[in-house]
Structure 1
Amino acid sequence: MTQMITESLVESLARERAFQLLDKGSAYEILSPFDRLESPHLAAQNIVPQYDDGMIILKGTLNGKPTVVVSIEGNFQGGGIGEVSGAKLAGTLEKVLKECKEGNIIYPVIIYDTGGVRLQEANYGLLSIAEISAAIVELREYVPVVGIIPGKIGSFGGMSLTAGLCSALIMTREGRLGMNGPEVVEQEAGIRELDSRNKQLIWKMIGGAIRKEMGLADIVIEDDVPNFKNAILSIWNGEVELKHRTKNINQYLTLIKSLNIEEKISPEQATDILKGINNVENTDVPTPSELVNSRGRIWFNLLTENKQSISEIPSVLVADTEINGIKARIIAVVPNPESKFYRARKGEVGLLEGWTIAKYVRQAIEEDAHLNEKRLILPVVDVPSQAFGYHEELFGIYLSCSAAVDAYATARLAGHPIVAAVVGNAISGAFLSHGMQANRLISLNDDGVNVHVMSKKSAAIITQRTIEELDIAAKDVPSMAYDIQSFKKLGALYSLIDGVNAEEPSVDDSALVIEAIYSAYEDIKKENARDLSYRLKTEIAVSSGRVASIKVREMIEQQWK
């Protein structure tokens, strides 16, 4: 029997992938290499840029339906998201959203091949991924947002959170989906936690086939272009149920609380557990944690006047209070040395934390649904990172974090003003999950406040540089730096609060922060915008911080036919 010759999507480059999906002769490229819009931040680091910055936008039709395909080139900087590439994806989704709101339905398809944030541009990637996430959450209310993870890289880092937000996911067996790459988990937690060389185990944990069996992907297909087209059409035609996994909070939270991880759970066991997600009994009642006086706890107690947390999870503090007479819900993630999830004992956002944040943000949405004035939601940010661990990846920490992102973005769109107060570390996926969806970001001007995508040690290893070389590069590229003054140069901060003792705040210190929160709240109400566009409108953003991000969006608008 003659074997059929297949048209591979996995083996194709990003541009080829996009053209292969669209009807022949219908597609044209927006912001092609001929526009020569490259990253302005790579040449300064002796890295050769690329004229499309590794992000391809094609507009055309699929089976006659107006379609936009955004395809990430994994061969350029590992598919990393920088300022230009991130703005291309976010700006395209924002434009599709605008069209859909005007009644012109366009179907978006995202082809993932990415390790997450491009470390050489660091905080630009964080800002972009927050904006991509915000656009997906709003857009999927009008049209299904389809994600495809064909391989070779897969979808990792902050981009795994955006994949978790998609209406439906199509994968091949070669595709992989996880928040922290196996090498990064081994690097952060050690080889006993996860041996990244054990490829068979890795694919059993996060490969396309197992993600489908676990209910974390919707369709798994063999690598042939017609299969991808048929899968997309089956989603559009309603043949595939849209699961909205990030909204299934009680089921996932109950499951995570019930896990016994004293011995490692195998991928096969995890699959059986996740298959029965609606039948899991909550057998674990968290015990009160040993109090660790983290900055998150200090400022939570100060801003709530020492109110008792209503949260069932000791590492997530939640309380309702008033800020200058305004009703507010305050949420903080704090260390819990007694957590059974030992990789999330120092204030990291892990499996429990993401789902718990989502629960209490959505609770506020539901309770205020009938009110004209929605309560202020205030994330107190002091998070060292997301949790790096075997069980975290196995049970989908990316989805836990996606659920938190989804909840915050949904609250903002529902009219809840969100002001994130950064009082300590704001690192990586933890900051994306808890803070980056806020209408306004405020921060203490303090040496203990750091914003970045990864620890310095890990960033040095992955970029094959020394820590000293990273520090030198950060002088020319502020987005690579960790300090809050450098982050301010990107234009995303509403205010930077001087003269506050972060770890032993006085009554006067508290008053300064409350004044900044109230000012940010008033500014949100005055602007009356529910998206994240403020970060592209500040004086710093327009003059220097987000110039490329703004230009990309302008050029998408110009080239949209």
Structure 2
Amino acid sequence: MGIRSSFIEGRARERASAILDPGTFRELLDPFERMESPHLARLGIVPQSDDGVVIARGTIDGLSAVVIAIEGKFQGGGIGEVSGAKIAGALEQALSDNREGFATRAVLVLETGGVRLQEGNYGLLAIAEIQAAIVALRQYVPVVCVIAGMIGCFGGMSITAGLCSKIIMTRQARLGLNGPEVIEQEAGILEFDSRNRPMVWSITGGEQRVETGLSDVLEEDEAERIRHAVIASLRQGLPAKHRSSQVARFLARLGAIDPQERINAKELRRLWSRDIDSEVLNGATPVQLEDGQAPAKPAVTSRGRIWFDALKGEAPRQTGEFPSVLCADVHYEGQVIRFLAVVPDPDNRFPRATRGEVGLNEGWTLARYVNEAVEADRDGSRRAIVAIVDVPSQAYGYREEMLGLFQACAAAVDAYATARLAGHPVVALLVGNAISGAFLAHGLQANRMLALDDPDVAVQVMSKASAARVTRCSVEELEHNARHMAAAAHDIRSFAKLGALHELIEGINPDAPSAAEIACVRSRLFEAVESARGSATDLSHRLASEEAASSRSASIAVRERMRRQWK
């Protein structure tokens, strides 16, 4: 009997090599290229020459493939500018191959906590670009994700996993949006005890994810078995419908949950193994237009609501089950624009999502509204979609992780990216906070992003207080670092230096805009819509701006070198 080779114990190169056909491994941008992070050394962190990501070309089952493997032992597998650009660049090259008629499949081996906090918005932008490439690549070939090791897959990269055609996990692996320690810090130990390891694995572990339909294959920790699972997944081809597109199914599943009860893993398996899919796969009940009258209960004021009401004017708001997601179609200058916003709802059935966070219902409902527009416009003019962004974070909670918040956010990402690829101009207007996974789900897939120039418009992976708790730095230390690196700052002017903003709109009162100011913003949005309508449907323009040429030079250099080495 042969010696079994552990997949988990292998480093990133060994894992990538184990998946590829023997003798076909060829690494791109290897350590001798010295494509390391230009940002870590100034923070006193020793960089790594491959920045913790291995890109390997070769074949799987005799067919062209690229394997992208994250090294969890470097910075916890965190995604920074260079590592993120390597992943996005490889996926973009695979996409280019497929568009030219040469089928190249992609496999991601994920061992990551999400964005590398020290590089902040570099990682956030990179993950959005990774996600955009996956949604585009899935139109041609399946994208398979392997999560095997003890770090698992968390943060924005869990949303990335939720976009994949197939997810393969081991029992040791974990998959969730928010890490246990982060939930405990944000919501308290009564909400989530990160030291209760059996509970943690019962919620986010591989066996539970597969049993509840949030992952596809449970495999043993053996390299050859993982390889065969990857081959089997690729041979199955594209699914009839990706999990992140199954909106009606998952909204129905959430409807079977009583949020007032602290559901356990065993009970969730029972509930979600019911044969309820046949009831909902024909589509959810269509939303209806209301008459424009105010709801019976006073709404909580937020910038998202202020600007949604201001920009929709007299247009009727669509009404659905969840008042935390606002939607309205507005006729302007001869075309239709769909406005979407996530707003506070004190009566949210999930109590961890009452302050405007993107939670379970919010993610799936955003996806529903966007998908409805895409389907309705399939044979006609593509309406513009405007995401009004004022989201303090994703929801932090026991139920959220148990019920797959990562997948709800992936559904929203999928919907926005699919709309963009279908020719819908997608524009984001940042009027308040744009934080972490919530911003990935609602805003970062836009063709064009605009923002109000205001001190309270903030973009970052975490709030300052949260980042200080996680990194064990003081807020003052974080602010000091931010003065030397725009990507680590929270303010919108620093974010604008990264080149992703289409326009920073000055001279607007965000909390009480005048009629003239509303008209000004509406006009700027329309200009952005027209700009997006006449340009590429991907996110490549973000690296073509004058600001990006200097602030994201590493992202550009990685892609250029990747392109040269690809063939």
Structure 2 length normalisation: TM-score?
A: 0.95
Contact kept? 2:28, 2:565, Cα under 8 Å: yes
Letter of the structure 2 residue corresponding to residue 559 of structure 1: Q
Structure 1 length normalisation: TM-score?
A: 0.96
Aligned to 1:508: 516
Contact kept? 1:258, 1:280, Cα under 8 Å: no
- Runs of 4+ in structure 1 displaced over 6 angstroms? 279-283
Q: Give the distance between the partners of 1:358 and 1:147, measured in 2 at CA.
A: 22
Deviation sequence 1:171-214 (CA, Å, 0-9, x none): 00011000000111111000000101110011111100111100
Aligned to 2:87: 89
Displacement of 1:43 in angstroms is: 1.2
Q: Give the distance between the partners of 1:134 and 1:320, measured in 2 at CA.
A: 25
Aligned to 2:439: 431
Task: Specify which of 300, 310, 325 is matched with residue 316 of structure 1.
Answer: 325
Aligned to 1:233: 231
Task: Specify which of 400, 403, 408 is matched with residue 416 of structure 2.
Answer: 408
Q: Give the distance between the partners of 2:362 and 2:319, measured in 1 at CA.
A: 11
CA RMSD of superposed structures (Å): 1.7
Aligned to 2:290: none
Aligned to 2:526: 518
Task: Specify which of 114, 117, 122 is matched with residue 115 of structure 2.
Answer: 117
| Structure 2 residue matching 1:61: 3-state secondary structure | strand
Aligned to 2:487: 479
| Structure 1 residue matching 2:200: 3-state secondary structure | helix
Q: How does 1:197-208 map to 2 (within 5 A)?
A: 197-208=195-206
Aligned to 1:65: 63
Contact kept? 1:255, 1:280, Cα under 8 Å: no
Contact kept? 1:289, 1:337, Cα under 8 Å: no
Q: Residues 30, 292 of structure 1: CA spacing in aligned structure 2 closer, same or farther, 3 A cutoff? A: same
Q: Residues 466, 140 of structure 1: CA spacing in aligned structure 2 closer, same or farther, 3 A cutoff? A: same
Contact kept? 1:417, 1:524, Cα under 8 Å: yes
Letter of the structure 2 residue corresponding to residue 447 of structure 1: P
Aligned to 1:278: 277
Displacement of 1:65 in angstroms is: 1.6
Task: Specify which of 151, 166, 182 is matched with residue 164 of structure 2.
Answer: 166
Q: Give the distance between the partners of 1:242 and 1:71, measured in 2 at CA.
A: 27
Aligned to 2:552: 546
Is 1:190 the equivalent of 2:179?
no
Displacement of 1:279 in angstroms is: 6.5
Q: How does 1:286-325 map to 2 (within 5 A)?
A: 290-312=298-320, 313-325=322-334
Displacement of 1:159 in angstroms is: 0.3
Letter of the structure 2 residue corresponding to residue 12 of structure 1: G
Contact kept? 1:111, 1:149, Cα under 8 Å: yes
Q: Give the distance between the partners of 2:33 and 2:515, measured in 1 at CA.
A: 55
Displacement of 1:254 in angstroms is: 2.2
Aligned to 1:367: 376
Deviation sequence 1:126-171 (CA, Å, 0-9, x none): 1111111111001011111000001121110000011000000110
Aligned to 2:258: 260
Q: Give the distance between the partners of 2:97 and 2:540, measured in 1 at CA.
A: 17
Displacement of 1:237 in angstroms is: 1.7
Q: Residues 374, 243 of structure 1: CA spacing in aligned structure 2 closer, same or farther, 3 A cutoff? A: closer
| Structure 2 residue matching 1:146: 3-state secondary structure | strand
Q: Give the distance between the partners of 1:442 and 1:508, measured in 2 at CA.
A: 18
| Structure 2 residue matching 1:74: 3-state secondary structure | coil
Q: Give the distance between the partners of 1:463 and 1:307, measured in 2 at CA.
A: 46
Structure 2 unpaired stretches of 5+:
288-294
| Structure 2 residue matching 1:437: 3-state secondary structure | coil
Displacement of 1:103 in angstroms is: 1.1
| Structure 2 residue matching 1:321: 3-state secondary structure | strand
Q: Give the distance between the partners of 1:288 and 1:74, measured in 2 at CA.
A: 51
Task: Specify which of 336, 343, 354 is matched with residue 345 of structure 2.
Answer: 336
Deviation sequence 1:402-454 (CA, Å, 0-9, x none): 00000000000000001100001000000000010000000000011000011
Q: Give the distance between the partners of 1:352 and 1:460, measured in 2 at CA.
A: 29
Displacement of 1:309 in angstroms is: 2.2
Q: Give the distance between the partners of 2:271 and 2:296, measured in 1 at CA.
A: 27
Aligned residues: 554
Displacement of 1:62 in angstroms is: 2.0
Aligned to 1:157: 155
Q: Give the distance between the partners of 1:85 and 1:239, measured in 2 at CA.
A: 28
Q: Give the distance between the partners of 1:453 and 1:288, measured in 2 at CA.
A: 36
| Structure 1 residue matching 2:117: 3-state secondary structure | coil
Aligned to 2:361: 352
Contact kept? 1:446, 1:502, Cα under 8 Å: yes
| Structure 1 residue matching 2:118: 3-state secondary structure | coil
Q: Residues 88, 45 of structure 1: CA spacing in aligned structure 2 closer, same or farther, 3 A cutoff? A: same
Displacement of 1:324 in angstroms is: 3.5
Q: Give the distance between the partners of 1:434 and 1:63, measured in 2 at CA.
A: 38
Displacement of 1:23 in angstroms is: 2.1
Q: Give the distance between the partners of 2:372 and 2:265, measured in 1 at CA.
A: 32
Q: How does 1:26-37 map to 2 (within 5 A)?
A: 26-37=24-35
